[in-house]
Amino acid sequence: MNITDWTNQNYNKLLQAAKNISYNDELSEELLHYSLEQLLIKPNILEIVNSGGCEFYIIRIMLSQWRSTTSPFYKIYRKNLCQIDLDSYLERNDVADEIAQSTEQIELTANEIQLELRNLGWYDQTLFKLYCEDGKTISSLARETSIPRTSISLTINRVKRHIRSKIKPITYE
């Protein structure tokens, strides 16, 4: 079977998978097309199609492209949508006031979190700071520190619960 026939037969199923992966985002069809392009540049494309693993292969491409903030798909399509153009909002004073109030609330909450972290042990503080401030994932922390992933995950979740119990959430009116 050639790739065109396979794509025509499986397009709707793959599109549904793309919608599921992207949580029905408007970019779901773009995600599918990008992933199909990635498949087309593979030198062993016919082997992949004839082995029956093409659907799995496309879905894995879509998953990695959608979830990763370092993927080419993210950089091309999603990064610009994730950034907020504040200049256009600042033209209206009421929105500017709301942003200023929100920023003050966030700064107060961030200070409260810093103070609350000081009440924790050094191990909890260090892991949580690496996780939040350095943007490390639990898996990367486990690799770098040789601490089991489960232990890191439990510690971070315990710190989050502690902080939530001590600090009231920000309310937006």
C-alpha to C-alpha distance for 31 and 64, rounded to whole angstroms: 11
Can you tell me the mean pLDDT for 56-65? Answer: 88
Look at residue 12 in the predicted model and tell me its pLDDT: 93
Say which CATH number the domain at 129 has.
1.10.10
Domain-embedded: residue 173: no
Asked if the model's pLDDT at residue 53 lies above 80, the reply is yes
Asked if the model's pLDDT at residue 75 lies above 90, the reply is no
Look at residue 16 in the predicted model and tell me its pLDDT: 92
Can you tell me the mean pLDDT for 76-97? Answer: 53
In order of 19, 36, 149, the CA distances from 115 in angstroms are 42, 50, 26
* Tens digits of residue pLDDT in 110-147: 777 788 888 888 898 888 888 887 777 888 889 988 99
pLDDT confidence bin for 159, thresholds 50/70/90: confident
Nearest to 110 by CA among 173, 157, 167: 167
Same domain, 96 and 145: yes
Name the more confident of 9 and 134: 9
Nearest to 141 by CA among 154, 120, 51, 7: 154
Same domain, 17 and 63: yes
Q: Lowest-confidence range among 9-13, 81-85, 163-167?
A: 81-85
Burial per residue of 86-99, b for 16 or more beta-carbon CB atoms within 10 angstroms, e otherwise: eeeeeeeeeeeeee
Task: Report the mean per-residue pLDDT for the chain.
Answer: 79
Same domain, 76 and 92: no
Q: Of the candidates 31, 59, 82, which is a domain's last residue?
A: 82
Query: First and final CA of the chain: distance in angstroms?
Result: 59
Position 118, amino acid? R
Asked if the model's pLDDT at residue 59 lies above 50, the reply is yes
Structural domain including 123 reads 86-166
3-state secondary structure at position 173: coil
C-alpha to C-alpha distance for 101 and 57, rounded to whole angstroms: 48
C-alpha to C-alpha distance for 7 and 54, rounded to whole angstroms: 10
Q: Of the candidates 37, 52, 82, which is a domain's last residue?
A: 82
Q: Of the candidates 64, 82, 100, which is a domain's last residue?
A: 82
C-alpha to C-alpha distance for 115 and 81, rounded to whole angstroms: 34
| Cβ within 8 Å of residue 3, ≥6 positions away | 39, 40, 45, 46, 49
Asked if the model's pLDDT at residue 85 lies above 70, the reply is no
Look at residue 99 in the predicted model and tell me its pLDDT: 52
Look at residue 92 in the predicted model and tell me its pLDDT: 47
3-state secondary structure at position 166: helix
Same domain, 43 and 114: no
